[in-house]
């Protein structure tokens, strides 16, 4: 057989196998798919170092700096034996010369088996996944989606509660702009949660998400107060940062900024199983004294990002739970 | 009634777009690029309509609209009807049907959406239940009242 025939045959096989394995959003994932990815993450927690990707190259394209997410993805790739190429600073890319995202993605697709990308524009990862011949993993696209954060949040909830079903999940702080709380809300729809929204009026959960809850049959309760009594029933207390720049009225910010700080005495009535999560970085919304309290779990949560991202990378490359 | 029939029958071959919301009449002229046509065009606005109260009507001689053009029309005039005229006779009444997906037609109002920053088509999904359009890329929703068609 001629060498080009062999190449052509391989290209055909490649084309046939080319289903889009990109990980762009978690909103459309079924309960089974989420549980499957969590089972993979659990395997990686049991043994993080596995020589599964020694013949693979993973590109990490960070068009917007995000040290935490990039390090987590690159560590995940390295612990799986892959080689990593890419950039952490968009100033070094041809984007500054006017190159389109499409051209950058098509160029890097020639070198890498999977592309992890962070971009400041909303929908950038979805668009990239539609044009790229290799899978795209969304490491955050503007204010839109951050699905790997959601998967690690789900994994952490499962890890701490032993289940994802029938939990009381309290979301605190900026519920208007916080993409992590929105993604968590949509991903939890399979698991019969009861949500409690605790936020100042200016940063309340948007009506579209409350409508989503009603459409999906998700129970929710809204609070403006944040004290020991309100959070006594929580299984998960998910804290987020109230950001000054989100307020049009700075007087309003000054009025509410300290109302959503978690302090140690507020945990007096908390359930034993309750765990405090935070997507990090925190500023002052969780008192440092809480770090040593058994309810605090945000640093372990960040560590789980490694296992969740190992699962995401393997799944994008078509490596199954049985194969890891 | 006599007048109305006369208006519709007055062209030999072409299309009469009827039941346009009166306030959208000139928007329809622009979005269909009718100002660039050389054939005869008659525009009627604020005409009495038993169905919608006040309507616009546009007659275009020797012009039959493509599916893409009808999709553009559907965004601003979803209840419009196209009367196809051949030899002074209405041979077909075509109601405008809103496609489930609109490509390259609707403008995304989100400046941080990828579709406003790359040389690419916009894609919007139409939700008939609440008559809104949702951007495929950034999920921004626009209502029928505020939707803008790309030039």
Domain spans in chain B, listed from the N-terminal domain onward: 2-95, 101-143
Residue A300 in domain: no
Q: Do A195 and A183 share a structural domain? A: yes
Give the global pTM.
0.87
**Burial (0-12, 13-18, 19+ Cβ within 10 Å), A222:** middle
Q: Do A140 and A192 share a structural domain? A: no
Taking only the tens of pLDDT, chain A with its 324 residues reads 444 444 444 443 343 335 789 999 998 899 999 999 999 999 999 999 999 999 999 999 999 989 999 999 999 999 999 999 999 987 777 667 788 999 999 999 999 999 999 999 999 999 999 999 999 999 999 888 999 999 999 999 999 999 999 999 999 999 988 889 999 999 999 999 999 999 988 889 999 899 999 999 999 999 988 999 999 999 999 999 887 777 778 888 888 788 889 999 999 999 999 999 999 988 889 999 999 999 999 999 999 999 999 999 999 999 999 999
Q: Phi and psi dihedrals of A254, rounded to 5?
A: -60, -35
Residue A313 in domain: yes
Q: Do B114 and A102 touch (CB under 8 A)?
A: no
Q: Do A168 and A272 share a structural domain? A: yes
Which residue is it, tokens 């207390």? A237
The structure tokens listed for A229 are 């009594």
> Is the Cα dihedral A82, A88, A91, A92 positive or negative?
negative
pLDDT digits (tens, 9 = 90+) for B34-45: 999 999 999 999
| Pairing between β-strand A57-62 and β-strand A83-87 as defined by DSSP bridges | parallel
Residue A299 in domain: no
Count the Cβ atoms, other than its own, within 10 Å of residue B70. 19
Closest CA to B112 of A180, A247, A123, A24: A123
Collect all residues of chain B within an 8 Å Cβ-Cβ radius of residue A106: none
Instruction: Answer yes or no: CATH 3.30.930.10 is held by domain B101-143.
Output: no
Q: Do A100 and B118 touch (CB under 8 A)?
A: yes
Q: What is the Cα–Cα distance from B138 to A152, expressed in whole angstroms?
A: 23
Q: Do A157 and A136 share a structural domain? A: no
pLDDT digits (tens, 9 = 90+) for B57-111: 999 999 999 988 898 899 989 889 999 999 999 999 999 988 999 999 999 999 9
Within this chain, domains B2-95 and B101-143 share the same CATH topology: no
Q: Which residues of A141-165 are buried (b: 16+ CB within 10 A; e: fewer)?
A: bbbbbbbbbbbbbbbbbbbbbeebe
**What's A191's domain CATH number?**
3.40.50.1370
CATH number of the structural domain B2-95: 3.30.70.140
Chain A positions with Cβ closer than 8 Å to B: 100-102, 119-124, 126-127, 141-144, 208
Q: Do A289 and A152 share a structural domain? A: yes
Residue A298 in domain: no
Q: Do A40 and A61 share a structural domain? A: yes
Q: Do A177 and A247 share a structural domain? A: yes
Q: Do A141 and A157 share a structural domain? A: no
**Residues contacting residue A6 through CB under 8 Å, at least 6 positions apart:** none
Which active-site residues of A does the annotation give?
68-69, 97, 118, 146
Q: Do A195 and A85 share a structural domain? A: no
A24: closest chain B residue by CA: B137
Residue A170 in domain: yes
Q: Do B136 and A126 touch (CB under 8 A)?
A: yes
| Closest CB to A101 among B118, B138, B141 | B118
Residue A26 in domain: yes
Tell me the residue range of the domain where A25 lies. 3-145+306-323
Residue A243 in domain: yes
In the prediction, which pLDDT does A203 show?
A: 87
Q: Do A141 and A9 share a structural domain? A: yes
Collect all residues of chain B within an 8 Å Cβ-Cβ radius of residue A102: 118-120
- Give the count of domains, chain A: 2
Q: Do A130 and A230 share a structural domain? A: no
Q: Do A89 and A199 share a structural domain? A: no
Count the Cβ atoms, other than its own, within 10 Å of residue B83. 20
Residue A202 in domain: yes
């Amino acid at each position: 057989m001629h060498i080009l025939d062999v190449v052509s045959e391989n290209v055909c096989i490649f084309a046939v196998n080319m289903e889009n394995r990109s990980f762009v959003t978690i909103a459309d994932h079924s309960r089974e798919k989420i549980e499957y990815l969590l089972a993979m993450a659990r395997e990686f927690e049991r043994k993080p170092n596995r020589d599964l990707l020694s013949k693979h190259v993973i590109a990490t394209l960070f068009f917007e700096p995000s040290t935490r997410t990039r390090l987590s993805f690159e560590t995940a790739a390295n612990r799986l034996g892959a080689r990593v190429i890419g950039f952490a600073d968009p100033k070094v890319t041809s984007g500054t010369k006017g190159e389109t995202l499409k051209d950058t993605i098509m160029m890097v697709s020639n070198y890498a088996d999977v592309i992890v990308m962070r971009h400041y524009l909303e929908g950038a990862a979805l668009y990239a996944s539609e044009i790229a011949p290799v899978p795209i993993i969304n490491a955050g696209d503007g204010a839109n989606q951050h699905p790997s954060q959601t998967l690690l949040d789900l994994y952490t909830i499962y890890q701490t509660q032993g289940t994802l079903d029938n939990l009381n999940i309290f979301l605190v702080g900026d519920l208007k702009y916080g993409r992590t709380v929105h993604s968590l809300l949509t991903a939890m729809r399979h698991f019969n949660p009861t949500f409690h929204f605790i936020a100042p009026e200016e940063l309340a959960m948007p009506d579209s998400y409350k409508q989503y809850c009603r459409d999906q049959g998700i129970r929710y309760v809204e609070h403006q107060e944040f004290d020991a009594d309100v959070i006594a029933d929580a299984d998960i207390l998910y804290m987020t940062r109230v950001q000054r720049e989100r307020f049009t009225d700075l007087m309003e910010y000054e009025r509410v900024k300290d109302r959503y700080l978690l302090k140690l005495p507020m945990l007096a009535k908390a359930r034993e199983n309750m765990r405090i999560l935070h997507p990090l970085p925190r500023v002052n919304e969780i008192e440092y004294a809480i770090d040593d309290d058994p309810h605090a779990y945000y640093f372990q949560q960040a560590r789980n990002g490694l296992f969740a991202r190992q699962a995401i990378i393997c799944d994008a490359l078509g490596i199954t739970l049985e194969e890891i | 009634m006599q007048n109305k029939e006369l208006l519709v029958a007055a062209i030999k071959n072409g299309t009469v777009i009827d039941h346009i919301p009166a306030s959208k009449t000139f928007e329809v002229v622009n979005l269909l690029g009718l100002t660039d046509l050389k054939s005869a065009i008659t525009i009627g606005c604020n005409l009495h309509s038993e169905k919608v109260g006040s309507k616009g009507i546009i007659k275009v001689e020797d012009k039959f609209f493509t599916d893409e053009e009808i999709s553009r029309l559907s965004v601003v005039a979803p209840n419009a009807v196209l009367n196809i005229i051949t030899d002074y006779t209405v041979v077909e009444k075509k109601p405008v049907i809103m496609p489930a997906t609109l490509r390259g037609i609707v403008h995304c109002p989100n400046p941080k959406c990828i579709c406003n920053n790359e040389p690419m088509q916009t894609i919007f999904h139409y939700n008939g239940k609440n008559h809104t359009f949702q951007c495929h890329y950034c999920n921004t929703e626009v209502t029928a009242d505020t939707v803008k068609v790309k030039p």
